[in-house]
Structure 1
Amino acid sequence: MSKGHSVVAAGHALTAAAAAEILADGGNAFDAAIAGVCMAFVAEAVFASPGGGGFLMARQAGRSTVKLFDFFVDTPLKRRQADEVSFFPIEANFGPATQEFHIGLGSSATPGIAQGLFAMHEALGTLPMKRLVEPAVTAARQGFPLTAFQAYLFTVIAPILQESEGTRAIFAPGGKLLEAGDTFRNEGLAETLSWLAEDGARLFTEGDIGRAIVAQSRDRGGHLTMQDLTRYRVELRDPLLWRHGRASVALNPPPSAGGALIAFGLAYLEALAASGEAIDTHALHAAMTATNEARTRHGEGLAERLAGGVLADEIRKAVRHPKAYRGTTHINVIDKDGNAAAVSLSNGEGNGFIVGEHGFMLNNMLGEEDLCAHDDWREGVRLSSMMAPTIILEPDGTVTALGTGGSNRIRTAILQVAVNLLAHGMRVEDAVTAPRIHVERDGTTSFEPGLPEDMETALRALGERARPWPAQNLFFGGVHTARWHEKRGVEGAGDPRRQGTSRTV
């Protein structure tokens, strides 16, 4: 471990630098996380936007409790008639795999990030919000060279970034997508962030940007109204706490799904270990398969049944009878005092239309198949999410913050890194870079190169359900991870699958 006092792990060098700058200026982990979020809007525009939602898992120094700030999106209060709604499919091309998403104004749920930032700041921040947005505002105005990874992401969702005049002006000026090395700037977003720091979250509700969101929705086939924006509330929740060995794992609670699914996977692996099985890739494959089956059977009730011990017998039976056979980013900050912030945020992939001249798209969460299959959603509820910002507390005082993007791969990516850290005792960097697998509900198994030979042979024997990837890929998430101990120091790792980076301060 490095002897640096604080550690940041994030999805872009600029995001990490913004957080580190605030730490160096005397801010705490939560100030730094807010600065990192604002920079992610600029530098990680495919993954994050003021038009989306997210979560903060927060641990304050000296406290044994952890709290979850839920500022994810709400479904609209009233659904418009289908013939009035703009909602249409596009295909994201990951290379070896494709995924269908829906965009248009009818794909947008009520955003919560602006309210979330100010809820975080009011409860936990120390520096003025004007200071916290400064790094992002400067980068958006001056511009910066587009990295090869961000340029690649532009090609993955090219149909979205080229859908409208507004998106083309930012991402494809002159009609051609920006490429690696080109200067990327977003002056409209710079103005929005400066304005947000001045006016607060009301800018996105009854303020000018809120009115622009409502007008766009009304005129271009969306569901959102002023009532949706003004009734939105950030929710403060107790995390789903799960014991794994001697560690306490704080996971995203319902109505989100990701935390419960990770807990089920951890419980299944513990049962395997108790029966004498090795916790290896074969075990992970079995745990992912069992988790998919549990999700199908129990749905939204999975977390409650886990917490009540109801599924213990089911897990044991599954162990005795084994089977034969989307855009998100994450920021971790742990400061010198042990305050820990794990923030996951997402805009989906964006709905394809810039809000006025404000430099950002609203989310397309109602077009995410893993969240709202076939446009099937209930009105006026907090949407469930796979996002799972996680904090692990160990008996010796070690604090670990981790999280990832990756749609329905979030739960399997976090599960694997957590197991690498807790069961195998790996260093953070090794735990993050180890090869991963992912099992879909239909049994299709994607896997990266570098697995043990016997496991790769077994997976390839699945035939049509085997999906080998030629190299590590963002498809398997980007589990940026930070770890802190008062005496041993800090270590961090940004996941190379999503160009992650870490910094110590």
Structure 2
Amino acid sequence: MARDFQLPGRSPVISTNGMAATSQPLASLAAIDVLRAGGNAVDAAVTACAVLCVVEPHMTGIGGDCFVQLKKPGKPAWGYNGSGRCAQKGTIDALRGQGLKEIGTSIHAVTVPGALEAWDATLKAHGTYSLDRALAPAIKYAEEGFPLTARSAFDWARFETRMKDDPGLRRHYMPGGRMAKEGDVIRLQALGQSFKTVAAKGIKAFYEGEIAQDIVDTIKPRGALLTMEDFAAHKGEVVTPIATNYRGLDLSELPPNGQGLTALVMLNILENFDMKALDALGPERFHLQLEAARIGYAVRDTHIGEPKTMTMDVGKLLDKAWAKKLAAKIDPKKRVPLPRAPTPGNETVYLTVVDKDRMAVSFINTLYSNFGLGICTEKTGISLTNRGSSFLLEEGHPNSYGHGTRPMHTIIPALAMRNDRVAYALGVMGAHYQPMGHVQIVLNLIDYGMDVQQAIEAPRVFFVGEDSACERGIPAATLEGLRQRGHNVTVPEVPWGGAQIINIDWDRGVLIAGSESRKDGCALGY
């Protein structure tokens, strides 16, 4: 689809040697610096992610989790699940005994952070850099400072109360009690020192040493059940990705406890409709996409959780015949009653890097909500994840809380392949929105012929409870068409998600990237 250069927009970034696409220019530049210095895509991805933990600290951090998917030419896709666990001694009865009906914003939402261990494991398995070398640019920005961007300033202002209410956030992000503004230079000395400690002593300093102790000392007085033993026992997991084929494209996702399966189920459903024949911005397309999402998320909320507790086999959930039966539940002319989805969030970072050898890395790191649970350690400057809020206090459910299990996870790095070669490395941050984001991008690329930047910039829809929340770029006629089909149309408070895509054009030997204009997205190549 050719771009009209008289209209506002971006063109894709094209290069030959290497490419990085992240949500922040400083992180993209750090990744390119690594590639130009001889590092590979894994080295660049970990370096860029560490920088994002400093320059977008509300979106991600070492107090959160990390999932990775990568592929080298001629090799199978490789995945790493870096999600943390709840307390080994945690039980549903214990939480109910505290009067909880759900974990919500309680201190039990904090799980053991898995990010640093995942970075270290991925570097050791596929990188050439040591962890200390990869952390160096992040340390520099933490100590010397970085300017706050317009989008980050917007996000911080939305959560001013959360920042004021926590002593750690107030100390590190509101010096003098003042909210930072766009263009202010931010220095995060305590976080920088934590990075330096890990660089000097390795990840044991985080999981068994003074940093873990500071985290436990911060959360224990608030009633947390996590202990030093829980931190010391943490280890991520190498996983085998799962995939489905959509009109000749193999979309590869990480298996549960992640929600990548949800995107695959949705694509299997939509394959039963002639999506290409529909207007890319028309009500018919978005109605089908919303209905497929409502079914796909119902499948997720019923069946996905810790693999050892799941009763439904992943292969059965990906069965095309079953998807055809699910598709039959959709009425193209009207919205039908189906289960609801949780309210999405936008607090994660996604990045992708491809190097000169065409190793493609799809990388995502998260605190879950803005600044996680809203608790930042005063000594070490680490914001703590609230990923445990995804758990259910329901015995026998695949996503039930307790005994050191991992919650259903929303972060899903993807690769899309043709003939066993990566065509696209892609991802969309945005918590529960992510499967919908993957599906929207795949449809935009495959059914509607958009380039990678157009596929990102096209307006988005999602559903929140009984509402169909449509970005302001959706045409008025489409909104009316959705209303006629029974949708309660609303406008989301903030845009849906944040995407990055790198397309490998094997025939021409070039890399083509798109980056999110809803964020401070930046794709760079050389």
After TM superposition, is the score higher than 0.5?
A: yes
Deviation at 1:320, TM superposition (A): 6.9
**Code of the aligned partner of 1:500:** G
Change (3 A) 1:194 1:243: same
> What corresponds to 1:93 in structure 2?
none
**CA displacement 1:410-440 (0-9 Å, x = unmatched):** 1111210121112222110000000111023
1:337 aligned residue (345, 357, 360) = 357
Greater Cα shift, 429-438 or 412-421 = 412-421
Q: Name the CA distance, whole Å, in 2 between partners of 1:46 and 1:152.
A: 11
Change (3 A) 1:16 1:302: farther
Q: Name the CA distance, whole Å, in 1 between partners of 2:286 and 2:30.
A: 37
**Code of the aligned partner of 1:237:** V
Determine if contact 1:84/1:221 at 8 Å carries over to the other structure.
Answer: no
Deviation at 1:242, TM superposition (A): 1.1
Deviation at 1:464, TM superposition (A): 8.0
Q: Name the CA distance, whole Å, in 1 between partners of 2:502 and 2:254.
A: 18
1:492 is the counterpart of 2:497: no
Deviation at 1:82, TM superposition (A): 5.0
> What corresponds to 1:94 in structure 2?
none
Deviation at 1:106, TM superposition (A): 3.2
The percentage of aligned residue pairs carrying the same residue is: 23
**CA displacement 1:238-296 (0-9 Å, x = unmatched):** 11111112111111211212x11101111111111299877733332332233244445
Change (3 A) 1:317 1:132: same
Q: Secondary structure at the match of 2:132?
A: helix
Q: Name the CA distance, whole Å, in 2 between partners of 1:88 and 1:308.
A: 35
1:286 is the counterpart of 2:298: no
Greater Cα shift, 375-384 or 191-200 = 375-384
> What corresponds to 1:44 in structure 2?
56
Change (3 A) 1:504 1:275: closer
**CA displacement 1:325-365 (0-9 Å, x = unmatched):** 53111111111111111111111232333224212111112
2:417 aligned residue (385, 393, 413) = 393
Q: Name the CA distance, whole Å, in 1 between partners of 2:325 and 2:379.
A: 54
Q: Name the CA distance, whole Å, in 1 between partners of 2:461 and 2:214.
A: 43
Change (3 A) 1:276 1:17: closer
2:388 aligned residue (366, 370, 373) = 366
> What corresponds to 1:74 in structure 2?
85
Greater Cα shift, 275-284 or 479-488 = 275-284
After superposition, where does 1:35-434 map in structure 2 within 5 Å? 35-63=47-75, 65-79=76-90, 81-82=94-95, 102-103=104-105, 105-257=107-259, 259-273=260-274, 280-295=285-300, 298-300=303-305, 301=312, 303-309=314-320, 311-319=322-330, 323-324=334-335, 326=345, 327-349=347-369, 350-368=372-390, 372=392, 377-395=401-419, 397-434=421-458
Determine if contact 2:61/2:366 at 8 Å carries over to the other structure.
Answer: yes
TM-score under structure 1 normalisation? 0.88
Greater Cα shift, 205-214 or 107-116 = 205-214
Deviation at 1:74, TM superposition (A): 1.1
Change (3 A) 1:38 1:295: closer
After superposition, where does 1:437-476 map in structure 2 within 5 Å? 437-440=461-464, 442-461=465-484, 465-469=488-492, 473-474=494-495, 476=496
Q: Name the CA distance, whole Å, in 1 between partners of 2:206 and 2:304.
A: 33
Greater Cα shift, 460-469 or 479-488 = 460-469
Q: Secondary structure at the match of 1:272?
A: coil
Gaps of 5+ in 1: 90-100
Q: Name the CA distance, whole Å, in 1 between partners of 2:56 and 2:410.
A: 19
> What corresponds to 2:8 in structure 1?
none
Q: Name the CA distance, whole Å, in 2 between partners of 1:342 and 1:458.
A: 36
1:8 aligned residue (4, 7, 20) = 20
Deviation at 1:157, TM superposition (A): 2.3
Q: Name the CA distance, whole Å, in 1 between partners of 2:480 and 2:40.
A: 48
Change (3 A) 1:281 1:254: same
**CA displacement 1:196-242 (0-9 Å, x = unmatched):** 12222111221111222222232332221012112111111111111
Q: Name the CA distance, whole Å, in 2 between partners of 1:297 and 1:42.
A: 36
Greater Cα shift, 393-402 or 45-54 = 393-402
Determine if contact 1:85/1:222 at 8 Å carries over to the other structure.
Answer: no
Q: Name the CA distance, whole Å, in 2 between partners of 1:84 and 1:469.
A: 37
**CA displacement 1:38-68 (0-9 Å, x = unmatched):** 10110110111111102001112332x1111
Determine if contact 2:214/2:377 at 8 Å carries over to the other structure.
Answer: yes
**Code of the aligned partner of 1:16:** S
Q: Root-mean-square deviation (CA), in Å?
A: 2.9
Q: Name the CA distance, whole Å, in 2 between partners of 1:410 and 1:27.
A: 29
**CA displacement 1:93-114 (0-9 Å, x = unmatched):** xxxxxxxx95464321111111
**CA displacement 1:447-466 (0-9 Å, x = unmatched):** 11333554221234478821
How many pairs align? 486
**Code of the aligned partner of 1:501:** C
Q: Name the CA distance, whole Å, in 2 between partners of 1:419 and 1:189.
A: 40
Change (3 A) 1:157 1:253: same
Change (3 A) 1:292 1:3: closer
TM-score under structure 2 normalisation? 0.85
Runs of 4+ in 1 over 6 A off after TM superposition: 83-89, 274-279, 373-376
Q: Secondary structure at the match of 1:282?
A: helix
Determine if contact 2:414/2:427 at 8 Å carries over to the other structure.
Answer: yes
